[in-house]
Amino acid sequence: MSIRSDDLAELPLDGPSAAVIVDRVNYPDDRAQWVPKHQGPNVFPNFFLFSRLLRWCYRPNLVAVKDTTFGYTADYTQLLTDVLHLRNVLRQTLPRHVVQKLDRDEEVFINLLGPGGYEFVVGFFALMALGAVIVPISPDLPPKEATYYATKSRACAVLVAQKSVPLARELESIVRQQHNESFRAIQITPHIMQKPLDPSQIQISSDPYFDLNKSGLVIFTSGTSGPPKGGVKRRGFLYDVATSFSDQQGIKEGDMVLHVLPVHHATGVTVTLIPFLYSGGCIEFRSGGFNVEWTWERIRQGGLSFFSGVPTIYMRLMAYYEQRLSKLPPQELQEYVNGLNEIRALLCGTSALPRPLQQKWTKLRGGRAILTRYGGTEFGNAFTVTPRSQGVPDGSVGEKAPGIDLKLSNGDEGEVLIRSPILFSKYLFDKEATAKALDADGYFKTGDIARREGKYYFILGRASIDIIKSGGYKISALDIEREILGLGYVAEAMVVGVEDEEFGQRVAAALVLQPDNPKAPRDLTLEKLRRDLRGTLAGYKMPTLLRVVDELKKNATGKVIKKVLVQELFPPEGHADVQRWVSKKRESRL
């Protein structure tokens, strides 16, 4: 049987047959065109990730997820059983017109709301098995902000973990009243820990593969450079990122990662979740606020293979080690050190560690440095540093990752421009923003400035906020922050450019001092700060504005919200708490 293109107008475009019609045109001789669709309650769609997860079900007692916060432990068979059950519940619960769209493989967006844990993992893969586009949102949002993400993604429902049910109910009420009366919240908890299937009962469909170019995941940007945008990742990305990161880091069966990061951002899903399940590893979740004492106790127990954090986490862990653990009897202290050194790789994202902090960790781990990761919502990991890497300079994000087309706008320094097989497909419902994000050749404009030295790359900061133009110099705010953080009395540092008539911009520093450091000055002056930096910073890089604060506001990924804070802490009209440097040479001329 063949179908001419002229016949398409006569064919129905509604119902479950619509997706098959397109296949008949493109693949008229495919056996799937004349046999019933291979579907059922225990059948996964034909997608590589499900095939891979099913193989691990045949390894007895191989734990997939250990949720220490909510008390769940599940092997791979339990996980896939619960995923299938929840997928089936969703098909029965969602409105008929939504299920019909899914059958036609059209875009259906569903929010996933909850902290990192077993419920989140089941929900994530259930939505994948349903054929929906997964849109994770933060469980810590107020209802008004959650509504923004739900409506921006045009979600038809929110799949919710038990911890986030109160927020989901408010979200459901607001969205129904103001935007979509059929929007509903569907709980995950009643549908997990089902009686496990026998692995032989679980099947992978013999239908054609999932369309890998269709939308699979939406990760919203952090919003540090404007309103959050939904970066859409293709289905193929979910498999590609699992294989590439697993191979780069050498993740293997039985490896355990301690997961303490948010799961509504890219790292929490594409670094510490999918690659470990793909590899037959175990994800141990600890959700809620970061608890430094609990984390060190877990490290002491041993058995961890990987850990991923952000600079703030590593600062707090090191401070706890120096202030508490280092004072323990040697035999007891050694238990913590032994547990730490069992971990094959400590990963750090969002920004490079300050050099002194990196040196402390490297010494504590017997010469093994924390691996600095650089990536973004839109483009994934552009560079690679692995546990096997040798001779990576301090502060470097490593070499260009395999298969990536990457260049700097001005040769060896400039904006990072990327073309990549895992590049985002679009910003959600924002064609104009998508077009603006790309140059004429299709490179994604990251907005990050980098420097290349040989084969290694160094991130200098955001083009808009981390590059300060002062007195004719272009200055990296991140370089200054790293040197300031090397001072023993500084806990956190933010360096920004503040507009100035004479210099164009002044180098402004907002600092949080170490609370328990006896060497920390009670009242830090700008003069002392500059004196302490004299051996490591050139004069033109020295801060000329200083404000000491109790905290620096951060987003969910631990990034300091510079664009907001620069206005709050260094307002144009000035502030009594801001110290200002005027050179003595200039004073003498006045």
Segments making up each domain of the chain, as ranges? 1-35, 39-54+74-241, 467-589
Give the C-alpha distances (Å, rounded to integers) separating 195 from 55, 82, 89, 433, 575: 19, 9, 15, 47, 63
- What is d(CA 104, CA 109) in angstroms, rounded to the nearest whole number? 14
| Cβ pair 34, 2 in contact under 8 A | no
What Rg do the C-alpha atoms of the chain give, in angstroms? 26
What pLDDT score does 558 carry? 75
CATH class of 467-589: alpha beta
For domain 39-54+74-241, give its CATH number from 3.30.300.180, 1.10.150.110, 3.40.50.12780, 2.60.40.4070. 3.40.50.12780
- Count of Cβ atoms closer than 10 Å to residue 584 Cβ: 6
- What is d(CA 129, CA 44) in angstroms, rounded to the nearest whole number? 6
What pLDDT score does 223 carry? 61
For 192, phi then psi, to 5°, come to -115, 170
What pLDDT score does 543 carry? 96
| Cβ pair 278, 52 in contact under 8 A | yes
Determine the 3-state secondary structure of 178 from DSSP. Answer: helix
For 476, phi then psi, to 5°, come to -85, 120
Give the amino acid at 590.
L
- DSSP string over 378-424: TTEE-EE--TT--SPPTT--BEEPTT-EEEETTBSEEEEEEE-TT--
- Count of Cβ atoms closer than 10 Å to residue 513 Cβ: 18
Q: Which stretches of the chain score pLDDT less than 70?
A: 1-25, 222-226, 584-590
Helix (H) or strand (E) holding 56, with range, is helix 48-56
What pLDDT score does 25 carry? 54
Nearest by Cα to 178 from 202, 151, 152: 151
Residue whose token pair is 């802490």 = 569
